[in-house]
Structure 1
Amino acid sequence: MTLIVLLLVLITERVGLRAAHWQVQTYLNYYISIALTRYSKIKASKISLFLFISAPAVILYLALYLLNSGLITFIVSLLGLAICLGNPQSRALYRQYLNAAGRGDREAQLVLHSQLAQEPTIIEEPEAKPEQASDLGDEAQSGDAIANEARQETLGETLIWINFRYYAVPIFYFVVLGIAGVVFYSTLLYLVEFKGIKQGEELENCDAHNKKELELWLEWSYWLPSRLVSLGFMVVGNFTNGLETWLKYAVNFSKSSKEMLCQVAMESDTNTDFADGNNAEHMVRLTKRNMGLFLVVVALLTLYGQVI
C-alpha cells in the first residue's frame, strides 16, 4: 500500500493538486485558528507546545486505529500525503526564475532566488559591486553567478534543500511512521516557516521562545532523513568524492542538516564544471535520480514484507 500511495501521489502532484484545498497550509490555518485560543490560556512550556503540534497527528492516528479499515486508511493516506507533499509556491517561483533567466533579467533572478531560499533580498547598486564582491569572500565566488552577489548559496543548493524539506522528508516519515508522521512533520514545518505561533495579539508569551524551540525540533526531525538522503546522493552520484564529506558530517552535530546535505550533494555530483557557476540543472537531475533510488528501496522492502 505504501508504494502504491507514493507512486500515485508523485504522479498526480506534478500535473495537478494546485488548488488551495490541496495545500496543507489551508488546513493548518484552520486548525491554528481553532486551537490557538485554547493554547493561549495554557502556561507556555515545551510540553504544551509539543501537544499543540502533535494534536492533529494524534487525532488522525487514533481515528484510523479505531476505524480499523484498510480501505479508509488507504484513502486517508493517499489524500493526506497528496496534501502534505510538495510546495506549489516554490514550484511557481522556480518557473518564474527560469523565465527570468530566459529573458536575461538578472535582478529578477536575484529576487526570485531569495524568495525561493526564504531569505531577505539583497540588491546592490552598480557602483557598490566591487565592495559587494569583496565582502562575499571565497565561498560566494564558487557559487551561482546570479545569487552569489547577495548570498553564499547557489541555486542548486537552494533547490536541493527545497526538495529535501517538501518531498524527501515527508516521504521518509510516511514510509516509517505512516500518514500521522507526515502530518506531525508538516505541522512543525508550517509553524517554523511562519515564525512560530504568534498569530495576533492573543499570545504574548510564546514568541521568540517558541520559535527557538520549533527550529530546534525541526532540525532534529531532519537529522536521520538528511543522512539517508545524502547517502543516496553518493550512490547515484560520485560515491568516492561524496563518501569523505558524508563521513565528515554524518556524526558532526555542530553542522546543520542543510549544510551536510548540500555539501554531500555538491561532492557527489559527477559534473563539476558548471557554466557560470550555475549548478541548478545538475542538482535537479541528482535529486530525481535519488528519488528513483528511494522508490526502488521502498519497492524492495515491500517485496520482502518490511513495508506494508
Structure 2
Amino acid sequence: MALFSLLIAIMVERLKLLPAHWQFDVLLAKYQQLFWKDKALDSAGWVAFVVLLPAMTLFLVLLLLDGVFFDVITLLMWMLVSIVCFSHQSLRAAFKKYMLAACRGDVQACYHHAEKLDCSECLDAVDEKDLGQQIGKTVAWVNYRYYGAVALYLICFGPVGAVLYCSVRFYQQYNQQQQLDMPFIDKLLFLFDWLPSRVFSFGFVLSGHFAAGISQWRKQVFNPNNSAKNIVTYTALAAEVMPEKSDAPVCVQPTLALLALSKRNFILLVTVLSVLTIFGLVS
C-alpha cells in the first residue's frame, strides 16, 4: 500500500490535480478556525489534543474499515491521505514565480517570492549574488520538510503517521506566524524530525558527491542537538558540486543544481521503497 499510495500521490501532485482547498495545510487551517481558538493553544493539554485529534480520528476510521470489501476501502484511504499530504501547489507556484523573476533579473521580486518558500528565514540580509545558492538550500529543505519526511512517516507508520507529522508541522508554523506561545510544539517537531532528517540527508550523500557529502553528514548528524534544517541543507550543499556563478543579477545555477540533487534523492527513496516492497519488508 505504501509504494502504490506514494506513487499515486506523486503523480497527482505533479499534475496539480488536487484543488487548493483540499490540500492538507488548507484543511487544517479550516479545522483550527472552526473548532478552536488561539487562547486554547496556551495549555499543554489542549495543544496535545488539538494536534493529535486528526491522526486519532484517522486511526479510528482505518480501524473500522479494516478488512471491509477486501481492504479496497483501506487502500483508497491510504491513497486519499497520501494525496492530501503531498499536494503543495502554493510552494510550487512560489518557486516558479521566483525562477521567472530571476530569469528577468527582478531582484526585489526574487526576495518576495523566496520568502514564501520558507517563512521561517529572513532573506533580507542575503547578498543577491548568494541568493541562488541560498534558495537552493531552501529547496533542499522544503523537499525534505514537505515531501521526504512525509514519505518516511507514511512508509513507517502509514497514513496516521503522515497526518500526525503534517499536523505537528502545521501547528509549529502556525505558532510562529501568529506569534503565539504554544507549549512544547517546537520541541515536538524537533523530535519528529530528529531521525528522518538524518536518514533523508544520507540520501543526498548517496545521490551526490559521496566523499564531500559523507564528511559533512558526519559533522552534522553526530550532534544530537543539531537542527534538522542544518543537517539537511549543509549535507545537500556539500554533496553537490556548485557550478560557476554567472553574471546575471540573480544566478539560478546553484538553485537548479540543488533542485536536481533533491529530485535524485527522492527517486532514490522511491527506489529503496520498491526494493523493500518486493522483498516483503514493507507492505
Partner of 2:147: 167
User: In structure 1, the residue corresponding to 2:184 is in which secondary structure?
Assistant: helix
Q: Does 1:55 align with 2:62?
A: no
Q: How does 1:266-281 map to 2 (within 5 A)?
A: 266-269=237-240, 271-276=241-246, 278=252, 279-281=254-256
CA RMSD of aligned residues (A): 2.5
Distance 1:175 1:110, change over 3 A: same
**Structure number, greater radius of gyration:** 1
Per-residue deviation at 1:81?
1.0
Partner of 1:29: 29
The whole-number CA distance in structure 2 between the counterparts of 1:273 and 1:195 is 38
Unaligned runs of 5+ in 2: none
The whole-number CA distance in structure 1 between the counterparts of 2:88 and 2:146 is 6
The whole-number CA distance in structure 1 between the counterparts of 2:90 and 2:267 is 24
Q: Does 1:111 align with 2:83?
A: no
- State the AA in 2 paired with 1:7: L
Partner of 2:83: 82
1:191 and 1:197 in contact (8 A); partners too: no
Per-residue deviation at 1:196?
6.1
Q: How does 1:139-154 map to 2 (within 5 A)?
A: 145=129, 147=131, 154=134
2:16 and 2:89 in contact (8 A); partners too: no
* TM-score, length basis structure 2: 0.88
Per-residue deviation at 1:33?
3.3
- State the AA in 2 paired with 1:33: Q
Of 221, 224, 230 in structure 1, the residue corresponding to residue 201 of structure 2 is 230
The whole-number CA distance in structure 2 between the counterparts of 1:198 and 1:242 is 37
The whole-number CA distance in structure 2 between the counterparts of 1:172 and 1:109 is 31
Please give the per-residue CA displacement for 1:203-247, whole angstroms capped at 9, x wherever unaligned. xxxx31x1x521221121111111111111111111111111111
The whole-number CA distance in structure 2 between the counterparts of 1:109 and 1:39 is 36
Per-residue deviation at 1:35?
3.4
User: In structure 1, the residue corresponding to 2:43 is in which secondary structure?
Assistant: coil
The whole-number CA distance in structure 2 between the counterparts of 1:76 and 1:21 is 18
The whole-number CA distance in structure 2 between the counterparts of 1:158 and 1:105 is 19
The whole-number CA distance in structure 1 between the counterparts of 2:103 and 2:74 is 45
Distance 1:2 1:99, change over 3 A: same
The whole-number CA distance in structure 1 between the counterparts of 2:23 and 2:276 is 29
- State the AA in 1 paired with 2:129: A
Per-residue deviation at 1:19?
1.6
The whole-number CA distance in structure 2 between the counterparts of 1:198 and 1:263 is 29
The whole-number CA distance in structure 2 between the counterparts of 1:197 and 1:67 is 37
* TM-score, length basis structure 1: 0.81
Please give the per-residue CA displacement for 1:186-211, whole angstroms capped at 9, x wherever unaligned. 11111122226969xxxxxxx31x1x
Please give the per-residue CA displacement for 1:91-123, whole angstroms capped at 9, x wherever unaligned. 101111111122111111122112222157666
The whole-number CA distance in structure 2 between the counterparts of 1:85 and 1:294 is 15
Partner of 2:164: 184
Per-residue deviation at 1:305?
0.9
Please give the per-residue CA displacement for 1:122-155, whole angstroms capped at 9, x wherever unaligned. 66xxxxxxxxxxxx6xxx67xx61638xxxx711
Partner of 2:221: 250
The whole-number CA distance in structure 2 between the counterparts of 1:170 and 1:119 is 19
1:113 and 1:147 in contact (8 A); partners too: no
Distance 1:111 1:298, change over 3 A: same
1:173 and 1:182 in contact (8 A); partners too: yes
By relative contact order (CA 8 Å, sep 6+), the higher-ranking structure is 2
Distance 1:110 1:38, change over 3 A: closer
Per-residue deviation at 1:72?
1.3
Q: Does 1:221 align with 2:220?
A: no
Aligned pairs, how many?
A: 275
Distance 1:223 1:85, change over 3 A: same
Distance 1:239 1:197, change over 3 A: closer
- State the AA in 2 paired with 1:147: L
Partner of 1:131: none
Partner of 1:299: 274
What percentage of residue pairs aligned between the two structures are identical? Answer: 27
Distance 1:179 1:105, change over 3 A: same
The whole-number CA distance in structure 2 between the counterparts of 1:93 and 1:39 is 31
The whole-number CA distance in structure 2 between the counterparts of 1:39 and 1:121 is 27
Distance 1:23 1:84, change over 3 A: same
Unaligned runs of 5+ in 1: 124-135, 200-206
